[in-house]
């Protein structure tokens, strides 16, 4: 069974635990079988409406090898297509969210091979997912790991998280949006300092700089991220996607263009049943029952 089919089947079976590791010893292979070696994907929340992706390559501190990126994208696309999922949480381990691109895989690459093979073509799928994605960052978020976190819509951090763009220390630069997203979020001086020295910042510094919205004790982080995702998933999914699109436009458009887009999306919400339901529920003093239409 291909990874996508296996994941879809399991997701439809309800509170699925997807630990799919065919290339690992049998003891580590989930009974349902399947194809994931580097991630765990499961549905969470009281209403089973949150997709949780956990990066699971502990021996390499979740270094982002091409296989992991492929599996991450498969899980994200499956959750994007699953109508019961309203938000996604992306996390790693308590020690490491992700330690960056797999440096061992970078060793033999050349300009020619990167360019011809379009090496980074699969690295920004996360930034095109329409459902909200919350990064729950414990431990290291370095290089491509920090870049992945910044592609998410909300970043929560554990108290001991560390963020950094240390590519300069191995003779390269961020390649998956680090110089752009970090600069937009934390400003030029701190972004330059991080990119040019490779120094890391703590969760507390990241929060102060606006990279992180909330900090939690290490062991509470994922639970808190899931609770936030459940809150988001309880709203209208279609209107939530419009809200996400409007906020993201602030990073890509001029103020005038962004405001025009916001107005169009605002008007568009009036074409949904959910907007009618939300407004009626308020007036009738009852809880809204959104149908995602
Ligand atoms: C491959 C990695 C790795 C990485 C850690 N490991 N990071 N393998 N790629 N990015 C492996 C180590 O080789 C080692 O495996 C094991 O994980 C544990 O790592 P240690 O270094 O022994 O652990 P520790 O002393 O705790 O130090 C942790 C660390 C350090 C600070 C995170 O590992 C580190 O600096 N890693 C590299 C971080 C980095 O430079 N990231 C940016 C990569 S470039 P073995 O088997 O050897 O014991 C990048 C570009 C993105 O991300 C652009 C888009 C693609």
Dump pLDDT digits (tens) for 211-267.
999 999 999 999 999 999 999 999 999 999 999 999 999 999 999 999 999 999 999
In the block, which residue shows the tokens 């580590």?
28
For residue 177 and ligand 1, the question of a CB distance below 6 A is answered with no
* CA 11 to ligand 1 center in whole angstroms: 32
Retrieve residue 248's tokens.
């993201």
For residue 69 and ligand 1, the question of a CB distance below 6 A is answered with no
For residue 196 and ligand 1, the question of a CB distance below 6 A is answered with no
For residue 102 and ligand 1, the question of a CB distance below 6 A is answered with yes
Atom of ligand 1 nearest to the CA of 103: 9
Query: pTM for the complete prediction?
Result: 0.90
The torsion defined by the Cα of 210, 76, 144 and 152, in degrees rounded to 10, comes to -10
Cβ–Cβ under 8 Å, residues 150 and 84:
no
Which residue CA neighbors atom 41 of ligand 1 most closely? 100
Going by C-beta distance under 8 Å and a sequence separation of 6 or more, which residues neighbour residue 264? none
For residue 22 and ligand 1, the question of a CB distance below 6 A is answered with no
Q: Where are the domains of the chain?
A: 3-233, 237-283
| pLDDT single digits (tens) 26-36 | 323 332 234 79
Selection from 220, 213, 227 nearest residue 50 by Cα: 227
CATH architecture type of domain 237-283: Orthogonal Bundle (1.10)
For residue 68 and ligand 1, the question of a CB distance below 6 A is answered with no
Atom of ligand 1 nearest to the CA of 61: 17
pLDDT at 12: 38
* CA 280 to ligand 1 center in whole angstroms: 53
* CA 250 to ligand 1 center in whole angstroms: 33
| pLDDT single digits (tens) 57-105 | 999 999 999 999 999 999 999 999 999 999 999 999 999 999 999 999 9
Same fold yes or no, 3-233 and 237-283: no
pLDDT beyond 50 at 207: yes
Selection from 293, 286, 252, 288 nearest residue 272 by Cα: 293
* CA 60 to ligand 1 center in whole angstroms: 7
* CA 227 to ligand 1 center in whole angstroms: 31
The catalytic site residues sit at 101, 144, 147, 167
pLDDT at 22: 38
Q: How far apart are CA 130 and CA 238, in angstroms?
A: 10
- The CATH homologous superfamily for domain 3-233 is 2-enoyl-CoA Hydratase; Chain A, domain 1 (3.90.226.10)
Bridge-based pairing of strands 133-137 and 96-98 is: unpaired
Q: How far apart are CA 110 and CA 195, in angstroms?
A: 22
| pLDDT single digits (tens) 126-164 | 999 999 999 999 999 999 999 999 999 999 999 999 999
Pocket test for ligand 1, best of 38, 61, 114 (most atoms within 8 A of CB): 61
Integer distance in angstroms from the first to the last C-alpha of the chain? 33
């Amino acid at each position: 069974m291909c990874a996508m089919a296996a994941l879809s089947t399991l997701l439809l079976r309800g509170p699925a635990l997807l630990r799919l590791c065919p290339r690992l010893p049998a003891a580590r292979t989930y009974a349902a079988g399947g194809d994931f070696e580097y991630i765990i994907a499961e549905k969470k929340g009281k209403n089973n409406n949150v997709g949780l992706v956990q990066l699971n390559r502990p021996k390499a501190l979740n270094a982002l090898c091409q296989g992991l990126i492929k599996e991450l994208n498969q899980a994200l696309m499956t959750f994007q297509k699953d109508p019961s999922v309203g938000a996604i949480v992306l996390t790693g381990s308590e020690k490491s969210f992700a330690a960056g691109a797999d440096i061992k895989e970078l060793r033999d690459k050349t300009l020619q091979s990167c360019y011809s093979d379009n090496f980074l073509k699969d690295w920004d799928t996360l930034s095109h997912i329409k459902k909200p994605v919350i990064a729950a960052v414990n431990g290291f978020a370095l290089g491509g790991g920090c870049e992945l976190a910044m592609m998410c819509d909300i970043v929560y951090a554990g108290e001991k998280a560390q963020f950094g763009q240390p590519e300069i220390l191995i003779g390269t630069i961020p390649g998956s949006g680090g110089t752009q997203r970090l600069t937009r979020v934390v400003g030029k001086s701190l972004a330059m300092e991080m990119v040019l020295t490779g120094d890391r910042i703590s969760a507390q510094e990241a929060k102060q700089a606006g990279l992180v919205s909330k900090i939690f004790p290490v062991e509470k982080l994922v639970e808190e991220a899931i609770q936030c995702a459940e809150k988001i998933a309880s709203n209208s999914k279609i209107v939530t996607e419009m809200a996400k699109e409007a906020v993201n436009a602030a990073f890509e458009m001029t103020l005038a263009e962004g405001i025009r887009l916001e107005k169009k999306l605002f008007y568009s919400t009036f074409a949904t049943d959910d907007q009618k339901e939300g407004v009626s529920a308020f007036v009738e003093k009852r809880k809204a029952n959104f149908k995602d239409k």
